[in-house]
């Protein structure tokens, strides 16, 4: 893994589902000299290594996330994405699909507590 890719992986790990552009801006904010092309190159490399996952968005830029097996809750009002961990989900999937699976992308739409005025 290159130095730049490793920095980008760090950023993905401490950021909240950033887009390529979010990452590029963070890189700049940190005072690191890196071109947008390198951000895309590194993201593609990290993705093909399986170090990150891509979350293509309906009408918007793709978001990136660490590749821990987990799903996402997406608020249909404000768009905020939060992580969703369901420990037995792989087991559940294997049982229900009747076959081995290599991974999953689960997004659950809801209205977050803030948008429901509960916070």
Partner DNA sequence: ACAAGATTTAGAATAATACTAATTTTATTA
Partner DNA sequence: TAATAAAATTAGTATTATTCTAAATCTTGT
Residues lying near a second copy in the complex (CB under 8 A): 54, 56-59, 62, 73, 76, 84, 86, 89, 92-93, 96-97, 99-111
H/E stretch holding 46 reads: helix 36-49
Instruction: Name which of DNA, a second copy, none residue 108 binds, using a CB cut-off of 5 to 8 Å depending on partner kind.
Output: a second copy
Contact 85, 78 (CB under 8 A): no
**What does DSSP say about strands 71-75 and 63-66: parallel, antiparallel, or unpaired?**
unpaired
**Structure token pair of residue 38:** 């390198």
Q: Is 40 in the site for DNA (CB under 7 A)?
A: yes
| Selected range binding DNA among 37-45, 75-83, 85-93, 106-114, rule: CB under 7 A | 37-45
Instruction: Name which of DNA, a second copy, none residue 96 binds, using a CB cut-off of 5 to 8 Å depending on partner kind.
Output: a second copy
Instruction: Name which of DNA, a second copy, none residue 61 binds, using a CB cut-off of 5 to 8 Å depending on partner kind.
Output: DNA
Contact 65, 77 (CB under 8 A): no
CA 51 – CA 28 distance, rounded (Å)? 22
Chain residues that interact with DNA, rule: CB under 7 A: 2-5, 19-21, 33-38, 40-42, 44, 56, 59-62
């Amino acid at each position: 893994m290159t130095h730049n890719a490793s920095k980008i992986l760090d950023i993905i790990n401490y950021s909240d589902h950033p887009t390529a552009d979010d990452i590029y801006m963070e890189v700049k904010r940190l005072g690191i000299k890196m071109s947008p092309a390198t951000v895309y190159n590194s993201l593609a490399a990290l993705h093909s290594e399986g170090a990150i996952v891509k979350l293509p968005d309906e009408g918007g830029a793709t978001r990136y996330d660490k590749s821990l097996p987990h799903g996402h809750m997406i608020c249909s009002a404000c768009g905020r994405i939060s992580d969703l961990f369901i420990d037995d989900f792989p087991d559940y999937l294997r049982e229900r699909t009747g076959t081995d699976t290599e991974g999953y992308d689960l997004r659950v739409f809801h209205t977050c507590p803030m948008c429901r005025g509960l916070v």
